[in-house]
């Protein structure tokens, strides 16, 4: 039996640590009180599931679609379906924090988009998404300070956001310089085989495609606009949960929770599913907003149910697609 690699060990270790943190926080807040608060949400649980698919997922699909050049643009219904599957993989597969984006590119190519365009639009979408989220974080911090008067967390949050922005800016410039051709040439040299030269050509093609996509300024602006609307609109599902639990159901409070918890979870991206980290974020920010701990934990559980309700069918759909392709390939091989 093959021994698990270091990456697998790290992923499972972080997953266990997240599960331990989740359990600790649940016990600390009182499991029975949390369950009662969660049950009190009732209709809101289904409403949050529906709202997430109808608003954030649709808006994210639109933001991705505008990046495609018109000749290569896939219908929105296909991109919506692909986006849903990609989010499901990223959320529920322990070792696939960015795996969902790879699946997005693969499915877009399967459905007719040229592979360089499919991969390029996903890369640009990721880059712009992180930059837009940084602005959303700053908005959330400003609103939180205005509502609570608390300022002790502002500096570390802004410093972390700045570091993230600098990292993404570096990633952007590396993309513009031709990172894929460089990586392909390095691999080809290490392999020392002419069979790998096609990889270099593919890298050059992807580099040219990415540069072309970044040159479409209007598309970049519209992608950021739609992503911003998605982030702000996504606060609606937290508002639904706050309203159902008879808490401080203002859109400002919902937006603050959405912004801060998303930032905390993104910072802890290495923890599978943000398990424990997300719950800690809701408890910390909820406490600043005057939300009881059991109710804040219940809101996090509603988000978890939403992830499962949308994610499990998404994973099943992905596996069905891959199984059909594998079956067709085997049938074709047998026919030859």
Given a contact cutoff of 8 angstroms between Cβ atoms, the answer to whether 86 and 103 are in contact is yes
Given a contact cutoff of 8 angstroms between Cβ atoms, the answer to whether 318 and 89 are in contact is yes
Residue 145 within any structural domain of the chain: yes
Given a contact cutoff of 8 angstroms between Cβ atoms, the answer to whether 258 and 231 are in contact is yes
C-alpha pair distances (Å), 14 with each of 9, 109, 122, 269: 9, 33, 27, 10
Which residues are CB-contacts of 48 (< 8 A; sequence separation ≥ 6)?
Answer: 237, 240, 241, 302, 303, 305, 306
Q: What is the dihedral of CA 319, 322, 325, 329, to 10 degrees?
A: -110
Residue 184 within any structural domain of the chain: no
Residue 189 within any structural domain of the chain: no
Mean pLDDT value of segment 205-216: 87
Given a contact cutoff of 8 angstroms between Cβ atoms, the answer to whether 43 and 244 are in contact is yes
In eight-state DSSP terms, residue 248 is -
Question: Tens digit of pLDDT for each residue in 56-72?
Answer: 999 999 999 999 999 99
Residue 262 within any structural domain of the chain: yes
Supply the mean pLDDT for the chain.
Answer: 84
The number of folded domains in the chain is 1
Question: Tens digit of pLDDT for each residue in 233-258?
Answer: 999 999 999 999 988 789 999 999 99
Residue 33 within any structural domain of the chain: yes
Residue 247 within any structural domain of the chain: yes
Residue 227 within any structural domain of the chain: yes
Q: Which residue range forms the structural domain that includes residue 298?
A: 6-177+216-335
Question: Tens digit of pLDDT for each residue in 72-106?
Answer: 999 999 999 999 999 999 888 865 556 788 899 88
Within 10 angstroms of residue 293's Cβ, the number of other Cβ atoms is 18
pLDDT at position 196 over 50: no
* DSSP code per residue over 74-87: PPHHHHHHHHHHHH
**Closest by alpha carbon to 64, among 19, 16, 108, 20?**
108
Residue 221 within any structural domain of the chain: yes
pLDDT at position 190 over 60: no
């Amino acid at each position: 039996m093959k021994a698990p690699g270091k990456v697998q060990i790290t992923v499972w270790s972080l997953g266990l640590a997240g599960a331990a943190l989740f359990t600790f926080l649940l016990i600390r807040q009182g499991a029975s009180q949390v369950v009662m608060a969660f049950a009190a949400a009732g209709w809101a649980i289904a409403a949050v599931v529906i709202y997430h698919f109808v608003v954030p997922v649709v808006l994210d699909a639109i933001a991705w679609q505008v990046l495609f050049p018109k000749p290569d643009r896939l219908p929105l219904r296909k991109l919506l379906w692909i986006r849903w599957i990609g989010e499901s993989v990223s959320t529920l597969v322990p070792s696939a924090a960015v795996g969902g984006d790879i699946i997005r590119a693969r499915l877009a190519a399967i459905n007719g988009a040229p592979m360089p365009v499919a991969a390029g639009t996903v890369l640009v979408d990721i880059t712009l998404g992180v930059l837009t989220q940084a602005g959303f974080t700053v908005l959330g911090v400003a609103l939180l300070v205005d509502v609570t008067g608390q300022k002790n967390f502002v500096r570390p949050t802004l410093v972390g956001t700045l570091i993230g922005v600098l990292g993404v800016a570096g990633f952007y410039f590396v993309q513009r310089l031709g990172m894929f051709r460089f990586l392909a040439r390095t691999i080809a040299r290490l392999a020392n085989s002419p069979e790998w030269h096609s990889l270099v050509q593919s890298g050059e093609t992807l580099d040219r495609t990415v540069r072309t996509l970044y040159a479409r300024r209007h598309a970049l602006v519209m992608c950021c606009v739609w992503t911003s609307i998605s982030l702000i609109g996504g606060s609606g599902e937290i508002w639904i949960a706050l309203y159902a639990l008879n808490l401080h159901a203002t859109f400002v409070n919902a937006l603050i929770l959405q912004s801060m918890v998303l930032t905390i979870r993104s910072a802890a991206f290495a923890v599978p599913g943000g398990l424990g980290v997300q719950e800690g974020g809701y408890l910390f920010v909820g406490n600043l907003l005057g939300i009881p701990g059991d109710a804040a934990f219940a809101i996090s559980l509603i988000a978890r149910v939403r992830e499962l309700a949308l994610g499990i069918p998404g994973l099943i759909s992905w596996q069905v697609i891959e199984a059909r392709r594998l079956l067709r390939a085997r049938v074709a091989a047998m026919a030859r």
